[in-house]
Structure 1
Amino acid sequence: MNTQFITVSAVLLMLFSGNNLAVISEKENTVRTEASQPVRTVVINANDQMRFDKNEIRVKAGDRIKLTLHHTGKFAKNVMGHNFVLLTIGTDVAKFAQAAMSKKDTEYIPSTGVIAHTRLLGGGESTTIEFNAPPKGTYDFLCSFPGHYAMMKGKFVVE
């Protein structure tokens, strides 16, 4: 009985040790891959006049994007909330914005047509997201808070 317990324990130890080593190796490879990608820092300011300070952002395909959004205004997010939403190519901006109006529970972010987005910010708040640049092309970005897309939009150009 004692030898069976030791044998079973040894087998379990080998099985779990092997799995943990595999997981560690996968994590190490992931870190190495991400560390080797160029990081492009982008900072965007949004204000209470419903304006982004940039209407065009240019990056290279394959770049790791570190995007920071600052809401430089004073109004609360339920009155003058701002976010940054990068849309997939071919997404109709007006239809997306219309769909966003009914998505208050997800901070006005529909579940389709989105490559990356920030959380919704109120005045004085900032947030940073990271994502990989999509393939070469010209993409739309906007603020999806109801009514803002008409003035708060731009082009995200991947070269």
Structure 2
Amino acid sequence: MQDPAYNVLFLCTGNSARSLLAEAILNDLGQGRFHAYSAGSMPKDAPHPLTLDLLSRRGHDLSAIWSKSWDEFARHDAPQMDFVFTVCDNAANEVCPVWPGHPVTAHWGLPDPAAVTGSDSERALAFQQTYGALANRLAAFVALPIASLDRMALRDRLQSIGNRADARSDA
């Protein structure tokens, strides 16, 4: 029996890099089993240009990629989330809205590639490494037998995935 489609929200402060990368990766990896979204507590005006460049080069659909506030997902008419992941330490330490439906939450903190300074190639490498780490974690998430795990076991598995030492892996 196939699992139902799950709604997943990725949170970051600016919603310009990490959370948008995760949204695009999961929407592709999940092949309809997951509907991924992203948002930020203090969203930037637009996605970081290197986010858009990397996603485009990797063949992701950019039509749903824009910076948005997490308030959009706390409204009564928003999709009910099954999972909420914070992908930056700042968002993990902020007081988040109350999400309808009590989704399973986990923290998957990663360094902010948008904060990297240096040459163009160094900055592009930071985005590539973040993409790789997220792709690795999301592949593990997609492989979980979600419907057969109780809430505590699922939360433990998600936290374990987030604690992986692949914060700077390539994919």
Q: Give 1 or 2: higher strand fraction.
A: 1
* TM-score normalised by structure 1 residue count: 0.32
Q: Which structure has the higher relative contact order (CA within 8 Å, separation 6+)?
A: 1
* TM-score normalised by structure 2 residue count: 0.30
